């Protein structure tokens, strides 16, 4: 019953929600264009691909958990081969940092890939070897929940636009199911881990992280992991260094929604 309801709700978002005109992607080619977005960067993954991430502290990058794993094998990327390139633009970054430690959300299970229960926990923190202390690269604060219809923005890298970030100044929250936002934002492969910004009270904060793109009844949407659902548990995992043994029952989290999800 829950699974059928979830499928219906996702389809209903696309079928009934009237989206105001979303803004087009703006390529941030110059220093002036990207002045406020230097804390968003490209994550180089073991020479095998890239994702997007954003600083939320001078030595801490927020991204998607699935970025830590090879797509074909599910093997964990060598953390020593992950590099955060803050403000990467046309062959140069404002800062380069290697990663000391990568922490995936404790409930994220690579083998489950794009199951709904996994997407809501698709968050990771990367601890940098050295903090980025630069007056032009300021970490973003995080925000609480987003309401349906809220105007949001996304800064991301993606295939075909990997050499400079692109900014979509306005897209919308089409709805929420459990810890997942359904978004009208324009994303593609490489956008995984991109910050979803909310603009309130003159401040820019991260409220979600791009986890997947979805196709429901032929309509393309983006899915974002809600920070108010999973970030606290991720912080707890970061601060808890004791060994853990995770038990997963054969049937746990293996429900199908009938929707097609693709990792961007």
**Domains of the chain with CATH codes:** 2-262 (2.40.10.10)
Q: Report the pLDDT value the prediction gives residue 242, as an integer from 0 to 100.
A: 57
Is the model's pLDDT at 11 over the cut of 60?
no
Q: Tell me the pLDDT tens digit for each residue of 214-232.
A: 876 777 899 999 999 999 9
Give which of 118, 124, 109 is closest to 179, Cα–Cα: 118
Q: Tell me the pLDDT tens digit for each residue of 166-193.
A: 999 999 999 999 899 999 999 998 999 9
| Helix, strand, coil percentages, rounded to 5, for the chain | 15, 40, 40
Instruction: Report the distance separating Cα 51 and Cα 54, nearest Å.
Output: 10
Q: Tell me the pLDDT tens digit for each residue of 134-158.
A: 989 999 999 989 999 999 999 999 9
Please tell me which residue, 44 or 243, carries the higher pLDDT value.
44
Question: What is the pLDDT averaged over residues 31-43?
Answer: 93
Q: Report the pLDDT value the prediction gives residue 219, as an integer from 0 to 100.
A: 74
Give which of 167, 152, 261 is closest to 216, Cα–Cα: 261
Is the model's pLDDT at 206 over the cut of 80?
yes
End-to-end CA distance of the chain: 29
pLDDT band at 251 (very low <50, low <70, confident <90, very high): very low
Average predicted confidence (pLDDT) for the chain: 86
Instruction: Report the distance separating Cα 89 and Cα 157, nearest Å.
Output: 10
Give the percent of the chain with pLDDT over 70: 83
Q: How many CB atoms lie within 10 A of CB 150?
A: 16
Instruction: Report the distance separating Cα 151 and Cα 49, nearest Å.
Output: 30
Instruction: Report the distance separating Cα 161 and Cα 122, nearest Å.
Output: 23
């Amino acid at each position: 019953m829950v699974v059928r309801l979830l499928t219906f709700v996702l389809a209903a978002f696309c079928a009934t929600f009237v989206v105001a005109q979303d803004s087009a992607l703006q390529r941030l080619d110059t220093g002036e264009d990207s002045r406020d977005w230097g804390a968003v960067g490209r994550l180089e993954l073991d020479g095998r691909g890239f994702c997007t991430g954003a600083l939320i502290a001078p030595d801490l990058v927020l991204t998607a958990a699935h970025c830590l794993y090879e797509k074909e094998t599910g093997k964990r990327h060598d953390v020593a081969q992950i590099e955060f390139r803050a403000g990467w633009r046309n062959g140069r970054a404002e800062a380069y940092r290697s990663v000391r430690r990568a922490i995936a959300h404790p409930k994220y299970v690579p083998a489950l890939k794009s199951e709904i229960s996994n997407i809501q926990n698709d968050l990771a923190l990367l601890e940098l070897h050295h903090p980025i202390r630069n007056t032009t690269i300021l970490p973003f604060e995080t925000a609480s929940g987003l309401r349906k219809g809220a105007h949001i923005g996304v800064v991301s890298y993606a295939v075909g636009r990997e050499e400079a970030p692109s900014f979509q100044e306005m897209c919308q929250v089409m709805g929420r199911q459990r810890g997942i936002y359904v978004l009208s934002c324009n994303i593609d492969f490489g956008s995984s881990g991109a910050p979803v910004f909310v603009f309130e009270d003159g401040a820019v904060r991260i409220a979600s992280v791009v986890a997947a793109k979805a196709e429901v009844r032929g309509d393309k949407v983006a899915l974002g992991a809600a920070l108010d659902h999973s970030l606290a548990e991720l912080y707890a995992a970061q601060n808890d260094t004791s060994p853990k043994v995770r038990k997963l029952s054969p049937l746990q989290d293996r429900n199908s929604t009938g929707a097609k999800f693709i990792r961007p």
